[in-house]
Amino acid sequence: MSGSRGCWRRSPRRPDDRGAVAVFLAVTVALIVGIGTLAVDLGMQRVVRRDMQALADVAALDLARELDGRTISELAPELDRSDPSSALSSVLAGNDTTLGSDPVVTVTWGAWQGGMFVADVDPPSAVRVVAAADTDFAFAVGRGGASRTAYGVSATTACHRLGSFAVVLEDEGSAVLSSLNDLLGLDLSLVAYDGLASAPVRLADIAADPRIGTPQQLLGASVSVSDLVAATAAVLARQDPDAFSVAITALDAVAGVAGGLGTTRLGDALSIAPTDSAALEADLSVLDVVSGALLAANGRSALSIPNLQAGVAGIGNHFDGSIDVINAASLACGRPHSLEARATNRQLAGDLDVEFVNLPSLNLNVGPIKGTVQTGKGTGTIHVALGNATSTLVDPPPVECGTGTQEDPTSFTVALDTGLAEYWVEALVEVEGSLKIGGLKAEVQLEVRLRLATGGSAGAPVPVPLTVPENDTVPVRTGQQMGLLGSVVPTVSIESSSVSVLGGTVGVGDLGLLEDAVVAALTTGNNNFLDKTLRPLAANVDEELLGPATRLLGIRVGGADVFAVGATCNAPALRG
């Protein structure tokens, strides 16, 4: 038997790959080092770019402070690098730690127009700064650099108020305070309003409160009304809790209703750009800020209708319709001719319908007309239509920032444009009954319209010069206040008339005599409809409803009440 024996076979020999890892590692390390050196060099160039942007921004802001009306030639010394006291030398000396050798700063004077820089406008109101520098690469051959640009402007801002809650303080009547309480849903005293109106606050301080955060949040977004009220009270408490104790107490009362109002957009009530640093630093009335926020939050515009029929004979107990406050007093802060520097007050509009009841009978005894007719039915309308009032900060004349004294006041001018105004109370009275005309029995029926009306027409914009002091507390008033309708001469017209005579005819002259007799009976005598019912109703409308509302909102026929709040001149700001 033969045995078997296993055999061993040799594997084919592979190429020798010893050392391949070392080669791969060497290549990888070289690549990583190359990328790292490139990153370092690019990072250094990025730092140069960042430093040049910071230098351009600082230089643009500092040079913008020099824009005070001087011409380009008069500003030339401010760019003299050989003079260590020049504005440019001061900027470079204060920012000499930038990465990069010998930064080159190029300055061009001009103006910012239509969202872009226009060079060589003289005298300039803006400046363009280009900062450039380069640095040696740490690893690569050569140098890397960057050039950055910044634009600075001289921002002159003024704040004014169209109509004002402060007008309330000039009137001791409780109707004014009552109307404002109705509008805001509050129950404050005149002392409280006085405290709120006299307490100054800066929007920048309110915005800095942790409950708000930033000016953009305060003016450009929705904020909680309760947070806004609390932040305002906290600002006053930090300033002087004793001096502003009345205002702080009033704000606590406001906080009692603020929780149910949710959020508000203060920018809807105050015309101020969130980026307007000058306006944010202006002292504003706490009353303007808080009441404007409340009105924007609660969305209420309808005035409460008081007891207009009180003491008036022949007035029904129900009124249909409404009279609305379209806008409360408006505050605007901004640069001349800017949208933010425009205040608009759309004032009042609406109609109320009223029914006249239990009207007196008319005894007629004029010539051939004998007998008594009844005024059994009448309807009336209270109509208010006050057009827009718009005021805009203008230049020229330029805004002048004085020391705030009578000898050296801050001054600026707004252009006031007012719209149409109509205001009337009227009644349409039906007269009917049996009479004898020339001995003939006649059935008569007439409709008589009686109207008490006042108003004004629109005109060209009126320049309104304002100063601080005095117009920060005393308004410039144009136009006239709403006139008392009770003193207006009525307009009376016959809308329709008919006479039915049995057994004969009535001449045209007799019909005219009948109409005249009815008008006389409604407007003259001891118990006439005009003096007994319509004039007392008009007086109540004046005294209880429209009078307080127009004083509250600064409404004037063909004009407005305009207050100066303040101005900030030549505040530097970046553009672009």
pTM over 0.75: no
Task: Return the pLDDT at 297.
Answer: 64
Look at residue 282 and tell me whether its pLDDT is greater than 60.
Answer: yes
Q: Which tens digits make up the pLDDT trace of 431-466?
A: 999 988 888 888 999 999 999 998 776 678 889 999
Rounded CA-CA distance 144/37 in Å is: 13
**Per-residue model confidence as pLDDT tens digits over 220-247:** 888 888 888 899 999 999 999 999 999 9
User: Which secondary-structure segment (H or E) carries 468?
Assistant: strand 462-468
pLDDT reported for residue 35: 55
Which one-letter DSSP state was computed for residue 400?
B
Residues paired with residue 509 on neighbouring β-strands, in sequence order = none
Looking at the predicted structure, is the pLDDT value of residue 173 above 50? no
For residue 77, pLDDT beyond 70: yes
| Section 539-556 average pLDDT | 75
Q: What integer is the mean pLDDT of 471-494?
A: 83
Residue 296, pLDDT > 80, answer no
The residue ranking higher by pLDDT, 126 or 36, is: 126
Average pLDDT, integer, range 252-259: 76
State the pLDDT at residue 23: 56
Q: What is the pLDDT of residue 237?
A: 94
Q: To the nearest whole percent, how much of the chain has pLDDT over 70?
A: 78
The pLDDT of residue 181:
65
Under DSSP, the state recorded for 403 is: -
Residue 285 is which amino acid?
S
Mean pLDDT in the chain? 80
Work out the percent of the chain whose per-residue pLDDT is above 90. 22
Does the pLDDT at position 427 exceed 80?
yes
Residue 97 pLDDT: 73
Q: Is the pLDDT of residue 166 over 60?
A: no
Tokens of 275: 């980026």
Crossing angle between the packed helical segments 245-258 and 190-198, to the nearest 10 degrees: 110
User: What is the residue-wise DSSP string for 96-165?
Assistant: ---SSEEEEEEEEEEEEETTEEEET-SS-SEEEEEEEEEEE-SSSSSEEEEEEEEEEEEEEEEEEEES-G
Residue range 393-416, pLDDT digits in tens: 998 898 898 888 999 999 999 999
Residue 554: predicted pLDDT: 72
pLDDT tens figures, 177-217:
555 566 556 667 767 777 887 888 988 899 899 999 888 88
Q: CA 227 to CA 262: how far, in whole Å?
A: 10
What pLDDT shows up at residue 36? 54
Predicted pLDDT at 542: 84
Look at residue 170 in the predicted model and tell me its pLDDT: 46
Q: What is the mean pLDDT of residues 155-168?
A: 74
pLDDT above 60: residue 33: no
pLDDT band at 468 (very low <50, low <70, confident <90, very high): very high
The pLDDT score that the predictor gives to residue 177 is 53
Helix (H, G, I), strand (E, B) or coil at 470: coil
Where is mean pLDDT largest: 278-282, 534-538, 543-547?
534-538
Q: Which residue has the higher pLDDT, 17 or 269?
A: 269
Label residue 175 by pLDDT band (50, 70, 90). Answer: very low
Question: At a CB cut-off of 8 Å and minimum separation 6, what does 103 contact?
Answer: 52, 55, 92, 131, 132, 133
Q: Is the pLDDT of residue 267 over 70?
A: yes
